[in-house]
Chain A
Amino acid sequence: MIEAFGLNSLRELIAAIFMLAGLVFFIGSAIGMLRLPDFYSRIHASGNSETLGCMLSFIGLMIYEGPTLTAVKMAFAFLIVFMANPIGSHILGKAAYKSGHPVWTLESKGAKKLVGLEKQDHSADEPVGHIRQKEDK
């Protein structure tokens, strides 16, 4: 049955399942990047979903490769992503926070419309991503 998908063994099927699961998280990351309202929220989408997507993809590749030295090298590559990715997210967030970028919350202008607590009435020429928070000190 699995030959119909161009797969030759059960190992390849398991590898494909892992890689597809990784792809789901990558796509979720891209969707989050477009839909979320402000800089801080988008860090979540860009930095974090990627880690699990990366992890699952690499596990898939390792299963596909089998028990060789290359698989161990892949594990190292993934572990480095695992350590370095949060540092990048943190530095971006910290730079924005220290320079006083406002944090978008549910109290912000237009927020209730975005999360569906109020009826939507924005026009087509106004992307939801451009809702700005009122400056309050």
Chain B
Amino acid sequence: MEKQGVLNNKNIVGSSLVHKLAMFVVLFGFWMVLSGRTETKFIVYGLITALVTTWVTYPLLLVPNKDGSKQYFVFGVSIPKFIMYFFWLMWQLVLANIDVLLATTAQELDIDPKVVRFYFRADNPMASVVLANSITLTPGTVTINVTDDGLYEIHALTRGAAAGVLDGSMQKKVADLYGEKFDFAVAEGEE
């Protein structure tokens, strides 16, 4: 792989300068929250630390897509959209958690464990990561395998959880979040 300056890399989606600036601001904010001290000395330490951390880690936070034609910044996502998605996910988490709690503490276990499969393809690898993580985070469903061609194998604990994964609402949200086209299909052999 030929060595290439990150600033001159034309494959990066979005502006690398904006990414770096945002990262620097967030890291400095994190420093301020953790230190909580406002003397000049500590602020200067924080600025230097944030600068060096940004400079060292930015190239590591670029992920290429499948054919390597584009490089996506890991945190390159619209913040308001992401916060909306986060709160939606929280709400789903509460609903699903109550469902699983009732199923596992019922007098007779009300479970129907099985593996369900669906396809979800996205150019941005972070969309796959966020989808897989969201599915695992939602109680009653655990992502147990994701293949390169977009096949997701999900272990679902209850009937409701399996239906929830296969109805495609979460996949739609993730596709919208990353500005991808919605490419979702339930694998053959599933109802």
- Measured CB to CB, the residues of A under 8 A from B are 24-25, 28, 31-32, 35-38, 40-41, 43-45, 47-49, 51-52, 55, 69, 72-73, 76, 82-83, 85-87, 89-90, 93-94, 96-98, 103-106, 114-116
Contacts and interface: CB of A to CB of B under 8 A. Distances in A.
Given A82-B137, A87-B133, 11 more contacts: A31-B104, A37-B109, A44-B140, A47-B136, A47-B142, A49-B97, A49-B100, A85-B137, A89-B142, A103-B113, A115-B111
B94 interface: yes
5 contacts: A32-B105, A35-B104, A73-B34, A86-B136, A90-B143
Majority SS at the chain B contact face: mixed
Nearest to A34: B104
B115 A106 contact: no
A77 B137 CA distance: 16
Given A36-B104, A52-B97, A87-B133, A93 B113 contact: no
B139 A52 contact: yes
Contacts of B71: none
Contacts of A106: 112-114
Interface string B14-38: 0000000000000000100110100
B171 interface: no
